[in-house]
Amino acid sequence: MKVAVIQMVSGADVAANLQQASALLQSAAQAGAELLVLPEYFCLMGQQDADKLAIGEPEGQGPLQQFLAQTAQRLGVWLVGGTIPLQSATDVARVCNTSLVFSPQGLRMARYDKIHLFRFDNGLERYDESVVLAPGSVPVSFDLPSKDGHTWRVGLSVCYDLRFPELYRAYATAGAHLLLVPSAFTYTTGQDHWEVLLRARAIENLAFVAAAAQGGLHDNQRRTWGHAMLVDPWGKVLAQREDGAGVVLAELDFATLEACRSRLPALQHRVV
């Protein structure tokens, strides 16, 4: 199955971000990608975190969800919409950072709300997503019947989730073959932790990992790490892009996954 992870440098103009995303997705589809993954906050990297509240949509309706559904249908692809802000059913003051999955028919197949909310303070940079985001609580996976004849089980996660291996082990236990990590990693943390965490999640769960990313200097002067990449179950980086907007493509071979799990059946050896 050919997979494309999209790298963007989203800004404060939602319409411009959607136009950029549309062009990149078109390019990925033309290259033969069957599953396309946008980065976290693909629709908006605002001047401040609270900007997300202004574009928060009710579940099932709104221009962002319409864009994703129509794009998936128009291109005939499986599309994972990075994240968009959806109104919380329980907290009117915050929104959920939500990853939605659409089928080639434009039907919504899964919703995952980011569980772990990022907080970081090194004296120079300060982030606290919990101010505007309501956390999710439930791991979500979906089954993708691929043109390659296999049904891939795909586990959903977002950015900071990457630091919590128990989430991905739950997916592996549930039979996941592919783990998605749309992200907007900071430059500071990304340069030290991004690749090693992605490869670790792949290795310990003997699964492919696909990580879309924000990568560059944004309107708000925040700099994201980029390095969108695809990793195989042995921890090999199949393809990546350092920074700037673009498409990262790789063919994920189900036989490779089966071979890795056969020669090193670590998932069967778990005790705890």
| pLDDT value at residue 191 | 97
Separation of alpha carbons 119 and 126, rounded Å: 8
Active site residue 147: no
Classify domain 2-268 by CATH architecture: 4-Layer Sandwich (3.60)
pLDDT at position 125 is 84
Q: What stretches in the chain show pLDDT beneath 70?
A: none
Give the DSSP per-residue string, 139-151: --EEEEE-TTS-E
**Which of the residues 43, 52, 96, 114 is marked catalytic?**
114
- The predicted pLDDT at position 272 comes to 86
Residue in 40, 43, 52, 96 annotated catalytic? 40
The question of whether 43 is a catalytic residue gets the answer no
Tokens of 200: 């670790």
Helix (H, G, I), strand (E, B) or coil at 187: helix
Catalytic site residue 52?
no
pLDDT, residue 123, reads 86
Element at 218 (helix H, strand E): none
Catalytic residue among 43, 96, 159, 260: 159
Rounded Cα gap, residues 89 and 94, in angstroms = 10
Quick one: tokens of 267? Answer: 């998932």
Q: At what angle do helices 14-30 and 63-75 cross, to 10 degrees?
A: 20
pLDDT at 220: 92
> Which pLDDT tens digit goes with each residue over 193-240?
999 999 999 999 999 999 999 999 999 999 999 999 999 999 999 999
CA distances from 32 to 26, 47, 73, 239 (A): 10, 35, 15, 16
Domain ranges of the chain: 2-268
